[in-house]
Structure 1
Amino acid sequence: MTETSTPFTPDVVAQIARHMNEDHAGDCAMICRALGGVPDAASARMTGCDADGIEFAAVVDGREKAVRIPWSERLTERIQVRREVVRMSDEARHVLGLPARDGR
């Protein structure tokens, strides 16, 4: 991730990562398992994002593996991150055969 490739400042990325890791750790792992090519991920934490994708550190067999998953489109505003993470979470639930969240 480079500063020129993202509309998000380091502070904004840190805030998003803190929220994801504190409140949505299960979603991080689920997204990595279903969409990130690491079906054996025991856990995952968000490590960054930019205009083109989101990054995680997934734990597989006790070791961290970097995972990058592209957004469905290039993002230009912070509010779009939430929409994309929700979309990824819903898609991951579908791929893994899990029930949809209430209200969706």
Structure 2
Amino acid sequence: MTTFDDSVVQAVLTHMNDDHADDSLLIVRAFADPQAITATMVGLDATAGRWTAEVEDTTTAVEVPWPIEVTERADLRKAVVVLYEQACERLGVEPRGH
């Protein structure tokens, strides 16, 4: 299994949490719990992204498998975009352009 350097993981987490928190929430709502009120990306590897989500004053761990094969850093962006698009489709939300 592919593993990513800690600096890569941290860069993705920072980007997702600072610039795409709403996207993370959509992903968590679509693939884990539609009642989630917050979502923070806390980890990732070649198989899945990981978030913590707040649902009714409870924090829960969420793991969502990547919908595409992830073998290098560039694949991570593609995987998150596909998850976001799938989440929008599941939730009936109009996706924004990338």
Residue 10 of structure 1, CA deviation: 1.5
Answer yes or no: is the 8 Å Cα contact 2:69–2:75 preserved in 1.
no
Deviation at 1:11, TM superposition (A): 1.7
CA deviation after TM superposition for structure 1 residue 47, in Å: 0.4
- What percent of counterpart residues are identical? 38
Task: Verify the 8 A CA contact 1:53 1:70 in the aligned structure 2.
Answer: yes
**TM-score between both structures, scaled by the size of structure 2:** 0.92
Does the aligned pair in 2 maintain the 1:52–1:73 contact within 8 Å? Answer: no
Deviation sequence 1:45-72 (CA, Å, 0-9, x none): 1000001010000111122110000012
Q: Which runs of 5 or more structure 2 residues have no equivalent in the other structure?
A: none
CA RMSD of aligned residues (A): 1.3
Q: Return the match for 1:8 from 4, 9, 21.
A: 4
Cα shift at 1:74 = 3.6
Q: Matched residues in 2 for 1:6 and 1:13: separation?
A: 12
Q: What is the number of equivalent residue pairs in this alignment?
A: 98
User: Gaps spanning 5+ residues in structure 1: where?
Assistant: none
Give 1:48's aligned residue. Answer: 43
Provide the rounded CA distance (Å) in 1 between the counterparts of 2:35 and 2:50. 17
CA separation in 2, counterparts of 1:33 and 1:90?
13
The 4+ residue runs of structure 1 with deviation greater than 4 A are: none
Which residue in 2 is equivalent to 1:28?
Answer: 24
